[in-house]
A and B are shown apart, each in its own frame.
Chain A
């Protein structure tokens, strides 16, 4: 090992770095995209060059045509997450205090968890109308069951020895909850929210495209939808690009950082 490493030059080491490799691949793909489009191999109206999409994205952001849409989508999703978290907390506490409810909630999770939100959309529209409420319902459906499943699984997997120690030093139920249970189910909370984020983000964009305008602004999905209606492929791609960027940011910044600062630091992340 040492011998091999010593023979490697600095540049070789950089190229072996996984992150560097990913960025290089990405750059290559974008370059090919750019070249194919600019050389006219594919019609520019079907595949606008990447540089144009990027420029359009910046332009739309600067002129305030895309920013409010993005904010609108993010705001709805944030509200949905807050609502889901509150519901999950209440259900979780109920399950802990009244164990017979656990079976009910587990059963509900098992039934609802595999159900794609989009499949519920007709029902949701009937119940909530084409409204922000419908969007929230869709997001809550995407987040709540995944979160509940993970939290309850985590709860039942808490090593008995943690609780017995708590019992031994006569912790009150409240302290047991805030000092032991919450931390012990943290891997489940993070995993659940992560799955929930993936589902909710997809469902929201899809629903926005189906519904069209909701509220004053419409979201990112609506932006893509209207751009397509005007056959403005560059704008469609700018919208798609922002979806990707937001997805990656939330995943690798928010969740990865949260994980790194908690369960990874504590040695509780199961690889």
Chain B
């Protein structure tokens, strides 16, 4: 395959200066190519640098060395073509209704010319994530899962090339999380969005990702990449096998 990768991560290295002045190497030589429409899940223990990696890919943070290309062009500043879905359940602007949270960015970025156009597009995305009844609600009036759905609609409405998700469902209950995983996968597939997401849940990775990247700890580096293609049609035994493989790679084999 000589298809140009949408996201190309090349030899990223990042360290933070600790309070005592010493350096902490967080990411060490991370390289990965992500193809158009692919969903790649990064999995690793807490503190292994997942958030840092995603923030660098998003342009929110600069690497010490290495670089990120999006569609072959250097990506070192946040851009609206590469959107971040945060873990924070309160990422919507509380003074705007769900509808206006989705509409305002369309107008502010010039993605929609008129308020009418913006609203009609926003309403479609809101319906897609199942929130049509709550378009007029304020964020504080809806549940955490609904807020994440709205944040997803807000991002998708801007038609991003790449969506970055930092444990977006980590603080939700199990049932809500499951339905959001399936929803996210299907809407991102529908629009051909390339997705990089971070999780510490093996199940989440196996359900959502086309490829699963297992990260080492201290410093974070790529330990193993699993092909998880055909994930929709796995028998539960096969799914169990894949989960087991990832667990073993994470060093949880004995558990």
Which residues from chain A sit less than 8 Å from chain B, CB to CB?
Answer: 159, 161-162, 164-165, 167-171, 175, 179-180, 183, 186, 262, 265-268
Residues of the B chain whose Cβ atoms lie less than 8 Å from the Cβ of A179: 104, 108
Partner of B109, one of A159, A169, A262, A267: A169
Q: Which residue of B lies closest to A265 (CB)?
A: B138
A166 to chain B, nearest CB (A): 9
A265 and B100 CA atoms in complex are apart in Å by 15
Contact A186 B95 (CB under 8 A): yes
Quick check: is B93 within 8 A (CB to CB) of the other chain? yes
A-B pairs with the 7 shortest C-beta distances? A267-B140, A183-B95, A266-B95, A161-B88, A168-B78, A161-B91, A169-B80
Given contacts A169-B83, A169-B158, 11 further A-B contacts (CB under 8 A): A161-B90, A161-B91, A164-B60, A164-B84, A169-B109, A186-B95, A266-B138, A266-B140, A267-B140, A267-B141, A268-B94
B141 — which chain A residues lie within 8 A by C-beta?
A: 267
Query: Is A267's CB under 8 angstroms from B139's CB?
Result: yes
User: How near does chain B come to A267, taking the closest CB pair, in angstroms?
Assistant: 3
A168 touches B94 (CB 8 A): no
Which positions 172-226 of chain B face chain A at CB distance < 8 Å? none
Chain A residue nearest to B106 (CB atoms) is: A169
Q: Which residues of A contact B138 (CB under 8 A)?
A: 265-267
Listed residue (A169, A171, A183, A262) with the most chain B CB atoms within 10 angstroms of its CB: A169
B105 at interface, CB cutoff 8 A: yes
B79 on the A face (CB < 8 A): yes
Q: How far is the CA of A186 from the CA of B158 in the complex (A)?
A: 28
Q: Complex formed: what's the CA distance from A183 to B84 in Å?
A: 22
- Whether the Cβ atoms of A168 and B139 lie closer than 8 Å is no
B residues sitting closer than 8 Å to A (CB atoms) are: 58, 60, 78-80, 82-84, 86, 88, 90-91, 93-95, 104-105, 108-109, 138-141, 158
Chain A nearest CB, measured from B188 CB (Å)? 17
Using A179-B104, A180-B93 as known contacts, say yes or no to A167 and B88 having CB atoms under 8 A apart: no
A167 CB contacts on chain B under 8 angstroms? 60, 78
CB < 8 Å: which of A161, A168, A262, A267 contacts B80?
Answer: A168
27 A-B contacts, Cβ less than 8 Å apart? A159-B90, A161-B88, A161-B91, A162-B91, A162-B93, A164-B84, A164-B86, A165-B93, A168-B60, A168-B79, A168-B83, A168-B84, A169-B158, A170-B79, A170-B80, A170-B109, A171-B108, A175-B108, A183-B95, A262-B95, A265-B138, A266-B95, A266-B140, A267-B94, A267-B138, A267-B139, A268-B140
Chain A residues positioned under 8 Å from B90 (CB to CB): 159, 161
| Chain B residues near A268 (CB-CB < 8 A) | 94-95, 140
Q: How far is the CA of A156 from the CA of B249 in the complex (A)?
A: 42
| Neighbouring A residues of B108 by C-beta, 8 Å | 169, 171, 175, 179
Most buried by B among A162, A266, A268: A266
Nearest A residue to B58 by beta-carbon distance?
A168
Which A residues lie within 8 Å of B80 (CB)? Answer: 168-170
Please name all residues of chain A whose beta carbon is closer than 8 Å to the beta carbon of B104 when the two chains form the complex.
179
Q: How far is the CB of B95 from chain A (nearest CB, A)?
A: 4
Query: Please, how many angstroms separate the alpha-carbon atoms of A259 and B140 in the complex?
Result: 16
Q: How far is the CA of A93 from the CA of B242 in the complex (A)?
A: 55
Name which residue of chain A comes closest to B104, CB basis: A179
Nearest to B84 among chain A residues (CB) is: A168
**Closest approach, in angstroms, between the C-beta of B88 and any C-beta of chain A?**
5
Query: What's the Cα separation between A171 and B86 when bound, in Å?
Result: 18
For residue B68, give the distance in angstroms from its CB to the closest CB of chain A: 15
**Among the listed A159, A169, A266, which residue makes an inter-chain contact with B88, where contact means beta carbons less than 8 Å apart?**
A159
Q: How far is the CB of B241 from chain A (nearest CB, A)?
A: 38
Q: Which residues of B contact A262 (CB under 8 A)?
A: 95
Report B-chain residues with C-beta under 8 Å of the C-beta of A161.
86, 88, 90-91
Min distance, Cβ A152 to any Cβ of chain B, angstroms: 20
Across the two chains, which residue of chain B brings its CB closest to A172? B108
Contacts of A171 in B (CB 8 A): 108
User: A100–B95 Cα gap in the complex (Å)?
Assistant: 30
With a CB–CB cut-off of 8 A, which chain B residues contact A159?
88, 90
Contact partners of B109 in chain A: CB under 8 A: 169-170
**Are A183 and B78 within 8 A (Cβ)?**
no
A167→B109 CA distance, assembly (Å):
11
Which residue of A has the minimal Cβ distance to B79? A170
A102 to B253, CA, bound (A): 54
Please name all residues of chain B whose beta carbon is closer than 8 Å to the beta carbon of A165 when the two chains form the complex: 84, 86, 91, 93
Query: How far apart are the CA atoms of A183 and B108 in the complex, in Å?
Result: 16
Name which of B78, B82, B83, B90 has the most chain A CB atoms within 10 A of its CB: B78
A267 to B90 Cα, complex, angstroms: 12
Contact of A266 among B82, B94, B105 (CB under 8 A): B94
A52 to B35, CA, bound (A): 86
Q: Which A residues are CB-close (under 8 A) to B158?
A: 169
Q: Tell me if A183 and B93 are in contact (CB < 8 A).
A: yes
